[in-house]
Structure 1
Amino acid sequence: MQPKPSQDVRDTRQGEEQRPLLGPDGEVVYDPPDDDLQTPQPSWLQRQWGSSCIRTLAILVLLLMVCTLVVLVLLFFGMAIPGLAHGPGKKPPVPRGPIKNVVVLVQENLSFDSFAGGLTYNPDIDGLVNRTYCNPSNIADHKSPKVCAKPTAKNVAPDDPDHSIAGGSMQIYSTYHPDNTSDPAMQGFVTEQIRSYRIDQDLSRAAEVINYYTPDHVPVFSAMAENFVLFDRWFASVPGPTNPNRAYLTSGTSHGHGMNDLDFMTSALPQTSIFEQLSEANIDWINYSNTSWFLPDALFYKWTVNSGKSETHVQPLDQFYADAAAGTLPPFTWINPECCSYMSFHPPSPINMGEGFIKGVYEALRSSPQWNETLFILTFDEHGGFADHVSPPEQVPPGDDLTCREWALDGSAIEFKFDRLGVRVPTVLMSPWVGKGVVQNRPADHDNDFSHTSILKYLSELWDLPVLTPRVAWSPSFGGLITDTYRETPETLPEPCPNQF
């Protein structure tokens, strides 16, 4: 919102009017002089010449004033420069390509290896099938027993692994204080789990942090991947917890927040979000939410509350199903699941109940009149402390120049500069306009890896929006995966696995 202009306007009176003046018919009129000198009267030709010149001059001045006014109006409403906000009443920009509606569902706390590492339909998937992946039980003692990944992950994880930034450093680098010489060997997950829960005598319990699911355990997600586009090199934005990652997902930065602190509960984040951007461009959106004790993602931001959008554009999850059935979903849909008991996958949420939820969202979209113009993106906000064997990218631009500080389990202080990505998370693109069974690794036309802010990069291309932050600018878009060929897609997905694993 732009500040109101100051009412304290200085006096700018013009000088007194000067003769000669134009008469009713455009002729030049002269006042009699004050002295006794007689001024020669102009000839008819001189009078006509003066009248014509003044008319022409007046027309030019009028045209100049009109042109200036038009330019000022265009600049004020942001319509003269591509990427600026569109003024009231202006139609939203026409999306590029066949996608008119984007739906994003961000689930909770699973790494790629833990949830998708057991998929077998395509040998190109960089998972755990035909791979031995182990961690020492004590990273400081390489003679300590090793704990290796097995396809025996439980429906309900017995413990919620550490997913702080400090814990992520230990899991990735085997130290709380990585530097330029640290090796991101992905060997510290079991050690951090044992330290967090003091379970050094129960390695089978500690192994839950590194075990994974088979396709039989996750038939819904497996079917999604097999029928659409699976990313096997998509990274979270922050090697830390939920809300900083969700802030990056929706604004391209966490504004220096590395923990789920009070600012996320009080709508205190000041940065521009995708929700604000879309509103300024007259592109409608709704954040459908089933959250309980924490705020939906759109409510992280001051603007959402101050603009009144918190009252009109944050709706209960039931409304999503009604709008999908009626074909009235907005161009941009953001979905928050419940957390953390039954639908989000976040421990102790049962895996099969989470599968039931994502199945229901997909089938609601598939049966919607809007499906033939929809792109459905399913991703996970962060790895949740669960193990993954692929090292995240380093030396990436942060969203801004703010850093965060926190304490590690050993009592030491750490500072994080948001210059490296989080752990891989499973991500799927679903639409009748994407290929079937595509396994997307690194982008073929870009040097950088896909991550959460790739969603914002794609939206900036789809609707001609400004790029929000340096992190978004760094991120590749997945727009090239949208084809120009419509195809049939499954109307329903398999039922979730019964609660027997």
Structure 2
Amino acid sequence: MANVVCQIFVVIVKAICLVWSWLAKIVCVAWDGLRCALKGWFGRPRRRAMPIRHVFVLMLENRSFDHMLGFSGINGKDIKNGVMRPIEGAAGSNIFQGVPIAPSVEADFKLSKPVDVDPGHEFKHTVVALCGPGAVYADGGPYPPSNRTIDNSGFIANYEASDGTPLNPPNIMKCYSPQRLPILNALANEFALCDAWFSSLPGPTWPNRFFMHAASSGGLDDSPSGLSSAGNTLFDGYTFNHGTIFDRLEDACIEWRVFAGDAFPVTLALSGMTLNELQGRIHDFDDFAEAINHSGYSAAYTFIEPDYGNDLPPSAEDFTCGTSQHPLDDVTRGERLIKSVYETLRNSPHWDNSMLLVTYDEHGGFHDHVPPPTASPPGDGISDEDNVFHHFNFDRLGVRVPAVVISPLIERNIVDGTTYDHTSLLATVEAIFGLNSLTARDATASSLMKLFTRTSARTDAPTGLGPTADAGIVCSGDPPEPGSSSSSGGLSSSGGAGSQDGYDWTRDTQEAGSSLRGFQEIALLKALKNARGRDRAQIRKEYFAATTKGGAKHFMHKVAQMTGKERVSPLPGQAPGIFTSLVPLPRRAWIPTPVTLYRKRGENDSSIRGSTGDSTKR
């Protein structure tokens, strides 16, 4: 009898809590909706310097300026004085076995193992690349280290020491000709090319992408460490003391969207973004064209993330067959993405009052000859001590990366040598929409506003960009070429790994690299947001047990299967309303994997294809 009473009491308490949470949510959502409605009806209209209503950002990854555009041969009109000048193209050299090695063409379409490996581009690797062989950063010290200068002399030395040991280290100096990157070159010639755009810190993907969103990394100065940063993920992702650009837009009742080509976009690592995904602000990139081509598309800010490629079973080949232009992937696949985004926007009803930025999060280990300048520290403090690995002061920018600014309000063939970093985009968004700065970094960053010199839209911008280069590489899911057979599973070419059928994740026992652990954190966030309450303890156990590459991939694969296609298709002309925000979050069952299986060690680890070195750096 007592047990029955206790069960009834538990049911009543749960019901009261559920009703209370719904009432609280209704009040919060209704108030926010009313606040935005009142602001729209009675608020003072913002003064905009230019007639830009839509800002689009496509951020790819891991390529330096010299590597991508150093041999483009572009001459353009300098935005400062109107004089034609060549861009700051490839130059300089690094020493290898006593011989100076200068940048040269032609870079391969992808780095292929075992000849090549994923170049090191974590914080410590970038110190060597910028400051020379043997350079070491003293935690909390000056950058460059004492008795060192930044002369960009260590790219070959850094690549030579990368995990897996490349057979030809000077390959890191190789660059692309315009013939291999016709899309990026066409846009750089047609609109504005920034040849002094630097990543926001001398380090890897994650903190640089955070700077694009928050003008800060919250103190994160290297790739996520996985277990040591679990405190962030177990609550709600990475937080920043002054919030993100998405928070600023939300507070100002300005709509935003994210279109993701990947199940685990890095944007989901930000606090609250998994909930935004369920509430209809984050969409699959497959829905991008339909949304943008609708006359009612009203999002003022749209961020686009690529597909990061194969990182789930049955594939054992990292980051191939994506669209991010990761060094281990075919660069032409990212060219197709750039072409798709541009042509969709160019032929949409929103072209006349839009801008598109195409840039890269960081250099990926590839050579660039321009020393990064100093920068203003964000000054927002450390949001979580687990973020701090080197006590870097964030007073130095990272390696130079490509950046092309596209808009019909920009004259043709412009080059801009202004020093920019990723927070320059934030400074531009803040100027356009009347928002306050997030940190001291974007407050002092140069904005792009001077590029928009036209008062009416150009009509001569190309509506199509022509074909991409043919790399001769085919992935599963690619449309077959005329006269060809069906595409292969995985990546296939003269140097590819081919099919990954028969992949056994329990035998892939290499330690999961920092970037893969970062993706795994995103998977954990998604799982905890979608799972039933009684499954969450098991999910956490499996997350902590999955320390190998195979285990991490298996965990992520399970999350992808559990969450399925939970993203809401964009409703043209409509923001997520009160009804969308109040729909109960779906709860899905988690099929457990015994924790002991994550700890299983294969009898012959060398049987794992593509397992040479740590290929999970981003």
TM bracket (short chain)? 0.7 to 0.9
- CA deviation after TM superposition for structure 1 residue 147, in Å: 2.7
Aligned to 2:433: 463
Rate the CA distance shift 1:365–1:451 in 2: closer, same or farther, 3 A. Answer: same
SS in 2 for 1:103: strand
SS in 1 for 2:288: helix
Rate the CA distance shift 1:478–1:181 in 2: closer, same or farther, 3 A. Answer: farther
Question: Could you list the runs of 5+ residues in structure 2 that have no partner in the other structure?
Answer: 1-30, 76-84, 138-143, 309-318, 474-618
Greater Cα offset, 337-346 or 110-119: 337-346
1:396–1:421 Cα contact (<8 Å) kept? no
Which among 39, 44, 47 is matched to residue 90 of structure 1?
39
Matched, 1:425 2:401: yes
1:397–1:474 Cα contact (<8 Å) kept? no
Rate the CA distance shift 1:399–1:105 in 2: closer, same or farther, 3 A. Answer: farther
- CA deviation after TM superposition for structure 1 residue 473, in Å: 1.1
2:193–2:404 Cα contact (<8 Å) kept? yes
SS in 2 for 1:89: helix
Aligned to 1:387: 367
Deviations 1:396-426 (A, max 9, x none): 32353448654xxxxxxx4422111111010
CA–CA distance in structure 1, aligned partners of residues 60 and 462 of structure 2: 22
SS in 2 for 1:278: helix
- CA deviation after TM superposition for structure 1 residue 249, in Å: 0.2
2:172–2:367 Cα contact (<8 Å) kept? yes
Which among 454, 457, 460 is matched to residue 486 of structure 1?
457
Aligned to 2:101: 147
Matched, 1:120 2:73: yes
Aligned to 1:185: 151
The aligned amino acid for 2:331 is I
Rate the CA distance shift 1:180–1:438 in 2: closer, same or farther, 3 A. Answer: farther
Greater Cα offset, 325-334 or 211-220: 325-334
2:356–2:406 Cα contact (<8 Å) kept? yes
1:167–1:176 Cα contact (<8 Å) kept? no
4+ long deviations beyond 6 Å = none
Aligned to 2:58: 105
Aligned to 1:255: 218
Deviations 1:314-345 (A, max 9, x none): 11111211111223251111001011323111
The aligned amino acid for 1:419 is D
CA–CA distance in structure 2, aligned partners of residues 162 and 415 of structure 1: 20
Question: Could you list the runs of 5+ residues in structure 1 that have no partner in the other structure?
Answer: 1-76, 79-84, 138-142, 407-413, 443-448
2:57–2:357 Cα contact (<8 Å) kept? yes
Deviations 1:139-191 (A, max 9, x none): xxxx6333321111000123221110111111001212233542100000000
CA–CA distance in structure 1, aligned partners of residues 254 and 48 of structure 2: 10
CA–CA distance in structure 1, aligned partners of residues 274 and 74 of structure 2: 46
CA RMSD of aligned residues (A): 2.4
Matched, 1:157 2:123: no
- CA deviation after TM superposition for structure 1 residue 232, in Å: 0.3
Which among 134, 151, 155 is matched to residue 93 of structure 2?
134
Rate the CA distance shift 1:320–1:89 in 2: closer, same or farther, 3 A. Answer: farther
CA–CA distance in structure 1, aligned partners of residues 39 and 277 of structure 2: 19
- CA deviation after TM superposition for structure 1 residue 296, in Å: 3.9
Per the normalisation by structure 2, the TM-score is 0.60
Deviations 1:90-120 (A, max 9, x none): 2274643111100000001100000011111
Aligned to 2:533: none
- CA deviation after TM superposition for structure 1 residue 241, in Å: 1.0
- Counting aligned pairs with the same residue, the percent is 30
Rate the CA distance shift 1:310–1:466 in 2: closer, same or farther, 3 A. Answer: farther
Which among 208, 211, 217 is matched to residue 245 of structure 1?
208
1:93–1:281 Cα contact (<8 Å) kept? no
SS in 2 for 1:169: helix
- Computing the radius of gyration over CA atoms, which structure comes out larger, 1 or 2? 1
2:221–2:391 Cα contact (<8 Å) kept? no
SS in 2 for 1:98: coil
CA–CA distance in structure 1, aligned partners of residues 360 and 350 of structure 2: 24
Rate the CA distance shift 1:399–1:113 in 2: closer, same or farther, 3 A. Answer: farther
Which among 163, 166, 170 is matched to residue 207 of structure 1?
170
Matched, 1:168 2:117: no
How many residues align? The count is: 392
Matched, 1:220 2:183: yes
- CA deviation after TM superposition for structure 1 residue 435, in Å: 1.4
1:230–1:427 Cα contact (<8 Å) kept? yes
The aligned amino acid for 2:398 is G
SS in 2 for 1:326: coil
1:289–1:296 Cα contact (<8 Å) kept? no
Which among 423, 429, 447 is matched to residue 453 of structure 1?
423
Per the normalisation by structure 1, the TM-score is 0.74
> Which structure dedicates a bigger proportion of its chain to helix?
2
CA–CA distance in structure 1, aligned partners of residues 54 and 379 of structure 2: 26
Rate the CA distance shift 1:417–1:114 in 2: closer, same or farther, 3 A. Answer: same
Aligned to 1:318: 286
CA–CA distance in structure 1, aligned partners of residues 196 and 64 of structure 2: 11
- CA deviation after TM superposition for structure 1 residue 270, in Å: 1.9
1:157–1:208 Cα contact (<8 Å) kept? no
- CA deviation after TM superposition for structure 1 residue 309, in Å: 5.9
The aligned amino acid for 2:303 is W
SS in 1 for 2:101: strand
SS in 2 for 1:312: coil
